[in-house]
Amino acid sequence: MISKTLFTGMARLTLLLGFVVVVLGAYVRLSDAGLGCPDWPGCYGEMVVTDRISENGHLYPERPFESHKAWKEMVHRYAAGSLGLLIFAMAFFSWRKRDEFRVRPAIPIVLAVLVIFQALLGMWTVTLLLKPVVVMAHLLGGLTILSLLFWFNLRLISTDRPADTAQSTLLSWAIAGLVIVILQISLGGWTSANYAALICPDFPVCQGSWWPPMDFSEGFILWRGLGIDYEGGVLPADARTAIHMSHRIGALVTVLVIGTTAIRLMRGTDGSLRLTGVVMLFVLLLQVLLGVSNVLLRLPLPIAVAHNGVAALLLLTLVAFLYQAVVPNSSRRTL
Protein backbone atom coordinates (compact mmCIF):
# COMPACT_ATOMS: atom_id res chain seq x y z
CA MET A 1 0.00 0.00 0.00
CA ILE A 2 2.74 2.44 1.05
CA SER A 3 6.38 1.86 1.98
CA LYS A 4 8.29 3.35 4.90
CA THR A 5 10.41 5.32 2.42
CA LEU A 6 7.33 6.78 0.75
CA PHE A 7 5.78 7.58 4.13
CA THR A 8 8.97 9.37 5.21
CA GLY A 9 8.93 11.33 1.96
CA MET A 10 5.31 12.29 2.62
CA ALA A 11 6.24 13.51 6.09
CA ARG A 12 9.05 15.66 4.72
CA LEU A 13 6.82 17.10 2.02
CA THR A 14 4.19 17.89 4.65
CA LEU A 15 6.78 19.69 6.77
CA LEU A 16 7.92 21.76 3.79
CA LEU A 17 4.33 22.62 2.86
CA GLY A 18 3.64 23.53 6.49
CA PHE A 19 6.42 26.10 6.38
CA VAL A 20 5.13 27.46 3.05
CA VAL A 21 1.62 27.83 4.51
CA VAL A 22 2.98 29.79 7.49
CA VAL A 23 4.89 32.16 5.19
CA LEU A 24 1.91 32.51 2.83
CA GLY A 25 -0.29 33.38 5.80
CA ALA A 26 2.12 36.13 6.77
CA TYR A 27 2.20 37.39 3.18
CA VAL A 28 -1.60 37.54 3.01
CA ARG A 29 -1.86 39.37 6.32
CA LEU A 30 0.94 41.84 5.64
CA SER A 31 -0.31 42.67 2.14
CA ASP A 32 -3.71 43.58 3.65
CA ALA A 33 -5.44 40.72 1.85
CA GLY A 34 -6.83 39.01 4.94
CA LEU A 35 -10.35 40.04 3.96
CA GLY A 36 -9.74 39.69 0.22
CA CYS A 37 -12.45 37.05 0.42
CA PRO A 38 -15.10 38.17 2.92
CA ASP A 39 -16.64 34.70 3.16
CA TRP A 40 -15.32 31.20 3.91
CA PRO A 41 -14.35 28.69 2.56
CA GLY A 42 -15.14 30.17 -0.85
CA CYS A 43 -14.60 33.66 -2.17
CA TYR A 44 -17.69 35.72 -2.91
CA GLY A 45 -19.60 32.46 -3.13
CA GLU A 46 -17.12 30.79 -5.52
CA MET A 47 -14.36 28.26 -4.87
CA VAL A 48 -12.20 29.56 -7.72
CA VAL A 49 -11.30 33.20 -8.38
CA THR A 50 -12.76 33.97 -11.82
CA ASP A 51 -14.50 36.87 -13.53
CA ARG A 52 -17.78 35.48 -12.20
CA ILE A 53 -16.84 36.70 -8.73
CA SER A 54 -17.27 40.32 -9.77
CA GLU A 55 -20.91 39.50 -10.52
CA ASN A 56 -21.36 38.45 -6.90
CA GLY A 57 -20.15 41.74 -5.47
CA HIS A 58 -23.69 42.56 -4.36
CA LEU A 59 -23.39 39.80 -1.75
CA TYR A 60 -20.85 41.92 0.13
CA PRO A 61 -21.41 45.56 -0.90
CA GLU A 62 -19.16 46.76 1.92
CA ARG A 63 -16.28 44.76 0.41
CA PRO A 64 -15.72 45.61 -3.26
CA PHE A 65 -14.04 42.74 -5.11
CA GLU A 66 -10.27 43.16 -5.57
CA SER A 67 -8.85 40.39 -7.73
CA HIS A 68 -5.24 40.56 -6.47
CA LYS A 69 -6.32 40.30 -2.83
CA ALA A 70 -8.79 37.51 -3.53
CA TRP A 71 -6.12 35.49 -5.33
CA LYS A 72 -3.69 35.85 -2.43
CA GLU A 73 -6.29 34.69 0.05
CA MET A 74 -7.44 31.74 -2.04
CA VAL A 75 -3.90 30.52 -2.82
CA HIS A 76 -3.29 30.45 0.92
CA ARG A 77 -6.50 28.49 1.43
CA TYR A 78 -5.60 26.01 -1.33
CA ALA A 79 -2.18 25.46 0.24
CA ALA A 80 -3.65 25.09 3.73
CA GLY A 81 -6.26 22.65 2.40
CA SER A 82 -3.55 20.57 0.72
CA LEU A 83 -1.58 20.56 3.96
CA GLY A 84 -4.64 19.32 5.83
CA LEU A 85 -5.14 16.45 3.38
CA LEU A 86 -1.51 15.39 3.71
CA ILE A 87 -1.76 15.46 7.51
CA PHE A 88 -4.91 13.34 7.44
CA ALA A 89 -3.11 10.87 5.16
CA MET A 90 -0.15 10.78 7.55
CA ALA A 91 -2.47 10.11 10.48
CA PHE A 92 -4.19 7.28 8.59
CA PHE A 93 -1.01 5.53 7.46
CA SER A 94 0.82 6.02 10.76
CA TRP A 95 -2.08 4.27 12.50
CA ARG A 96 -2.57 1.60 9.84
CA LYS A 97 1.17 0.82 9.54
CA ARG A 98 2.26 1.61 13.10
CA ASP A 99 3.84 -1.82 13.68
CA GLU A 100 5.41 -2.16 10.24
CA PHE A 101 6.82 1.40 10.22
CA ARG A 102 7.60 1.39 13.96
CA VAL A 103 6.07 4.83 14.42
CA ARG A 104 3.81 6.17 17.09
CA PRO A 105 0.62 7.59 15.54
CA ALA A 106 -0.03 9.97 18.44
CA ILE A 107 1.53 13.08 16.86
CA PRO A 108 -0.14 12.64 13.42
CA ILE A 109 -3.50 12.11 15.12
CA VAL A 110 -3.02 15.21 17.26
CA LEU A 111 -2.04 17.08 14.09
CA ALA A 112 -5.25 15.97 12.38
CA VAL A 113 -7.28 17.39 15.27
CA LEU A 114 -5.26 20.62 15.22
CA VAL A 115 -5.87 21.02 11.49
CA ILE A 116 -9.62 21.00 12.09
CA PHE A 117 -9.30 23.63 14.82
CA GLN A 118 -6.92 25.67 12.67
CA ALA A 119 -9.48 25.65 9.86
CA LEU A 120 -12.06 27.02 12.31
CA LEU A 121 -9.62 29.76 13.33
CA GLY A 122 -9.13 30.58 9.66
CA MET A 123 -12.87 30.89 9.22
CA TRP A 124 -13.23 33.06 12.35
CA THR A 125 -10.36 35.26 11.17
CA VAL A 126 -12.55 36.23 8.22
CA THR A 127 -16.01 36.16 9.77
CA LEU A 128 -14.90 38.10 12.87
CA LEU A 129 -13.22 40.73 10.67
CA LEU A 130 -9.57 40.16 11.65
CA LYS A 131 -10.17 40.21 15.41
CA PRO A 132 -6.60 40.42 16.79
CA VAL A 133 -6.91 37.61 19.33
CA VAL A 134 -8.16 35.26 16.59
CA VAL A 135 -5.46 36.36 14.14
CA MET A 136 -2.79 35.74 16.80
CA ALA A 137 -4.30 32.36 17.71
CA HIS A 138 -4.34 31.43 14.01
CA LEU A 139 -0.64 32.29 13.77
CA LEU A 140 0.23 30.26 16.88
CA GLY A 141 -1.89 27.37 15.64
CA GLY A 142 0.01 27.29 12.37
CA LEU A 143 3.36 27.35 14.16
CA THR A 144 2.23 24.60 16.54
CA ILE A 145 1.39 22.40 13.56
CA LEU A 146 4.73 23.21 11.95
CA SER A 147 6.63 22.41 15.17
CA LEU A 148 4.87 19.05 15.61
CA LEU A 149 5.56 18.17 11.98
CA PHE A 150 9.23 18.94 12.55
CA TRP A 151 9.32 16.84 15.73
CA PHE A 152 7.64 13.93 13.93
CA ASN A 153 10.18 14.13 11.11
CA LEU A 154 13.01 14.06 13.64
CA ARG A 155 11.50 10.94 15.19
CA LEU A 156 11.33 9.25 11.78
CA ILE A 157 15.10 9.51 11.31
CA SER A 158 15.92 8.35 14.85
CA THR A 159 16.78 4.81 15.79
CA ASP A 160 15.85 4.96 19.49
CA ARG A 161 12.90 6.14 21.47
CA PRO A 162 13.12 9.21 23.73
CA ALA A 163 15.01 8.60 26.95
CA ASP A 164 13.05 8.11 30.16
CA THR A 165 15.15 10.78 31.86
CA ALA A 166 16.37 13.74 29.83
CA GLN A 167 19.55 15.65 30.55
CA SER A 168 18.22 18.10 33.13
CA THR A 169 20.48 21.07 32.30
CA LEU A 170 19.90 20.84 28.56
CA LEU A 171 16.19 20.33 29.07
CA SER A 172 15.88 23.39 31.31
CA TRP A 173 17.61 25.62 28.76
CA ALA A 174 15.58 24.16 25.91
CA ILE A 175 12.24 24.66 27.64
CA ALA A 176 13.11 28.18 28.79
CA GLY A 177 14.23 29.15 25.30
CA LEU A 178 11.17 27.64 23.68
CA VAL A 179 8.81 29.46 26.05
CA ILE A 180 10.55 32.80 25.45
CA VAL A 181 10.45 32.40 21.66
CA ILE A 182 6.75 31.48 21.74
CA LEU A 183 5.98 34.53 23.89
CA GLN A 184 7.97 36.77 21.56
CA ILE A 185 6.21 35.37 18.50
CA SER A 186 2.90 36.00 20.26
CA LEU A 187 3.91 39.62 20.86
CA GLY A 188 4.90 39.91 17.21
CA GLY A 189 1.54 38.50 16.13
CA TRP A 190 -0.26 40.93 18.44
CA THR A 191 1.80 43.82 17.03
CA SER A 192 0.93 42.86 13.47
CA ALA A 193 -2.76 42.16 14.18
CA ASN A 194 -3.15 45.60 15.79
CA TYR A 195 -1.21 47.40 13.03
CA ALA A 196 1.35 48.65 15.53
CA ALA A 197 4.51 47.84 13.57
CA LEU A 198 4.93 51.37 12.19
CA ILE A 199 4.00 53.36 15.28
CA CYS A 200 7.71 53.69 16.12
CA PRO A 201 9.47 55.02 13.02
CA ASP A 202 12.93 55.16 14.62
CA PHE A 203 15.38 52.82 16.32
CA PRO A 204 16.60 52.19 18.99
CA VAL A 205 14.39 54.93 20.42
CA CYS A 206 10.67 55.23 19.66
CA GLN A 207 9.21 58.55 18.57
CA GLY A 208 12.45 60.19 19.67
CA SER A 209 12.20 58.86 23.22
CA TRP A 210 13.40 55.83 25.15
CA TRP A 211 10.02 55.63 26.90
CA PRO A 212 7.29 57.38 24.85
CA PRO A 213 3.68 57.81 26.07
CA MET A 214 2.08 54.37 26.25
CA ASP A 215 -1.23 52.85 27.31
CA PHE A 216 -0.66 49.19 28.18
CA SER A 217 -4.14 48.60 29.60
CA GLU A 218 -5.76 49.64 26.32
CA GLY A 219 -3.16 47.91 24.18
CA PHE A 220 -3.64 44.44 25.63
CA ILE A 221 -7.41 44.07 25.81
CA LEU A 222 -7.96 40.68 24.17
CA TRP A 223 -11.70 40.84 23.54
CA ARG A 224 -13.59 43.93 22.44
CA GLY A 225 -16.91 42.43 21.44
CA LEU A 226 -18.31 41.44 18.07
CA GLY A 227 -19.02 43.37 14.90
CA ILE A 228 -15.85 45.48 14.90
CA ASP A 229 -13.87 45.69 11.66
CA TYR A 230 -10.21 45.55 12.73
CA GLU A 231 -8.69 46.01 9.26
CA GLY A 232 -6.24 48.88 9.56
CA GLY A 233 -6.43 48.79 13.36
CA VAL A 234 -8.73 50.47 15.85
CA LEU A 235 -6.37 51.35 18.71
CA PRO A 236 -5.18 54.87 19.58
CA ALA A 237 -1.50 55.74 19.16
CA ASP A 238 -0.53 55.30 22.83
CA ALA A 239 -1.95 51.77 22.88
CA ARG A 240 -0.14 50.80 19.67
CA THR A 241 3.07 52.26 21.06
CA ALA A 242 2.71 50.10 24.17
CA ILE A 243 2.32 47.00 22.00
CA HIS A 244 5.29 47.88 19.82
CA MET A 245 7.56 48.63 22.77
CA SER A 246 6.53 45.38 24.47
CA HIS A 247 7.66 43.54 21.35
CA ARG A 248 11.00 45.38 21.43
CA ILE A 249 11.53 44.56 25.10
CA GLY A 250 10.64 40.95 24.35
CA ALA A 251 13.17 40.98 21.52
CA LEU A 252 15.89 42.12 23.92
CA VAL A 253 15.05 39.31 26.36
CA THR A 254 14.98 36.82 23.47
CA VAL A 255 18.39 37.93 22.21
CA LEU A 256 19.93 37.62 25.68
CA VAL A 257 18.48 34.21 26.50
CA ILE A 258 18.66 32.55 23.07
CA GLY A 259 22.04 34.11 22.33
CA THR A 260 23.42 32.77 25.63
CA THR A 261 21.90 29.36 24.91
CA ALA A 262 23.45 29.23 21.45
CA ILE A 263 26.90 30.20 22.73
CA ARG A 264 26.71 27.55 25.48
CA LEU A 265 25.85 24.92 22.87
CA MET A 266 28.68 26.05 20.60
CA ARG A 267 31.18 25.66 23.45
CA GLY A 268 30.08 22.10 24.24
CA THR A 269 31.65 18.83 23.13
CA ASP A 270 28.65 17.29 21.36
CA GLY A 271 28.97 17.86 17.62
CA SER A 272 25.25 17.93 16.85
CA LEU A 273 24.57 20.33 19.72
CA ARG A 274 27.38 22.62 18.54
CA LEU A 275 25.85 22.71 15.07
CA THR A 276 22.44 23.48 16.57
CA GLY A 277 24.03 26.35 18.49
CA VAL A 278 25.62 27.76 15.33
CA VAL A 279 22.34 27.60 13.41
CA MET A 280 20.43 29.07 16.36
CA LEU A 281 22.79 32.03 16.68
CA PHE A 282 22.76 32.69 12.93
CA VAL A 283 18.96 32.61 12.73
CA LEU A 284 18.69 34.82 15.83
CA LEU A 285 21.02 37.48 14.41
CA LEU A 286 19.23 37.38 11.06
CA GLN A 287 15.91 37.86 12.84
CA VAL A 288 17.23 40.90 14.72
CA LEU A 289 18.53 42.40 11.47
CA LEU A 290 15.16 41.88 9.79
CA GLY A 291 13.31 43.41 12.75
CA VAL A 292 15.44 46.55 12.75
CA SER A 293 15.15 46.79 8.95
CA ASN A 294 11.36 46.65 9.22
CA VAL A 295 11.41 49.75 11.41
CA LEU A 296 13.98 51.78 9.51
CA LEU A 297 12.65 50.88 6.04
CA ARG A 298 8.96 51.30 7.00
CA LEU A 299 7.89 47.65 6.81
CA PRO A 300 8.67 46.66 3.20
CA LEU A 301 6.61 43.57 2.34
CA PRO A 302 9.50 41.19 1.46
CA ILE A 303 11.37 41.97 4.69
CA ALA A 304 8.20 41.82 6.79
CA VAL A 305 7.33 38.39 5.37
CA ALA A 306 10.92 37.22 5.85
CA HIS A 307 10.72 38.36 9.49
CA ASN A 308 7.78 36.00 9.99
CA GLY A 309 9.48 33.14 8.16
CA VAL A 310 12.72 33.46 10.12
CA ALA A 311 10.70 33.59 13.36
CA ALA A 312 9.33 30.17 12.38
CA LEU A 313 12.87 28.92 11.71
CA LEU A 314 14.04 30.22 15.09
CA LEU A 315 11.19 28.33 16.72
CA LEU A 316 12.23 25.15 14.89
CA THR A 317 15.83 25.49 16.14
CA LEU A 318 14.46 25.50 19.68
CA VAL A 319 12.30 22.46 18.87
CA ALA A 320 15.44 20.74 17.55
CA PHE A 321 17.30 21.64 20.75
CA LEU A 322 14.45 20.30 22.87
CA TYR A 323 14.51 17.09 20.85
CA GLN A 324 18.26 16.71 21.42
CA ALA A 325 17.75 17.26 25.15
CA VAL A 326 15.14 14.51 25.29
CA VAL A 327 16.52 11.90 22.88
CA PRO A 328 19.62 9.90 23.88
CA ASN A 329 22.93 10.54 22.14
CA SER A 330 22.93 7.21 20.30
CA SER A 331 19.95 8.23 18.16
CA ARG A 332 20.97 11.81 17.40
CA ARG A 333 21.65 12.83 13.84
CA THR A 334 23.24 16.03 12.57
CA LEU A 335 20.52 18.67 12.33
Q: How confident is the model at residue 158 (pLDDT cuts 50, 70, 90)?
A: confident
Options 73, 100, 218, 231, the catalytic residue: 73
216 shares a domain with 113: no
pLDDT at 99: 86
Q: What single-letter amino acid sits at 282?
A: F
97 shares a domain with 172: no
89 shares a domain with 143: yes
> What single string gives the DSSP state of each residue in 266-308?
HTSS-HHHHHHHHHHHHHHHHHHHHHHHHHHTT--HHHHHHHH
Task: Give the global pTM.
Answer: 0.93
172 shares a domain with 150: no
What is the arithmetic mean of pLDDT over 96-105? 88
User: Is it the case that residue 52 has pLDDT exceeding 80?
Assistant: no
| Domain end position, chosen among 157, 176, 204 | 157
pLDDT at 60: 84
The dihedral region occupied by 137, where left means phi > 0, alpha psi between -120 and 50, and beta the remainder, is: alpha
Q: How many domains does the chain have?
A: 2
User: Is it the case that residue 244 has pLDDT exceeding 80?
Assistant: yes
The upper half-sphere exposure of residue 165, i.e. CA atoms within 13 Å in the direction of its Cβ, equals 2
189 shares a domain with 91: no
Burial of 77 (0-12, 13-18, 19+ CB in 10 A): buried
184 shares a domain with 78: no
137 shares a domain with 5: yes
User: Is it the case that residue 32 has pLDDT exceeding 90?
Assistant: yes
pLDDT at 300: 97
| Among 311, 305, 292, residue whose Cα is nearest residue 180 | 311
194 shares a domain with 88: no
Q: Respond yes or no: is residue 55 known to be catalytic.
A: no
pLDDT at 49: 85
Higher pLDDT pick, 59 / 41: 41
| Among 137, 138, 159, residue whose Cα is nearest residue 76 | 138
Of 93-102, 154-163, 283-292, which one has max mean pLDDT? 283-292
pLDDT at 56: 74
| Domain end position, chosen among 109, 136, 157 | 157
137 shares a domain with 189: no
Higher pLDDT pick, 47 / 313: 313
212 shares a domain with 91: no
User: Is it the case that residue 160 has pLDDT exceeding 80?
Assistant: no
What confidence tens digit (pLDDT) does each residue in 256-285 have? 999 999 999 999 888 999 999 999 999 999
Q: In angstroms, how far is the first alpha carbon of the chain from the final one? A: 30
User: Is it the case that residue 161 has pLDDT exceeding 70?
Assistant: no
pLDDT at 163: 46
Tell me which of 161-170, 279-288, 317-326 is least confident: 161-170
331 shares a domain with 280: yes
Measured in whole angstroms, the distance separating CA 288 from the mean position of its chain's CA atoms is 17
209 shares a domain with 128: no
| Domain end position, chosen among 135, 157, 179 | 157
| Domain limits for position 145 | 1-157
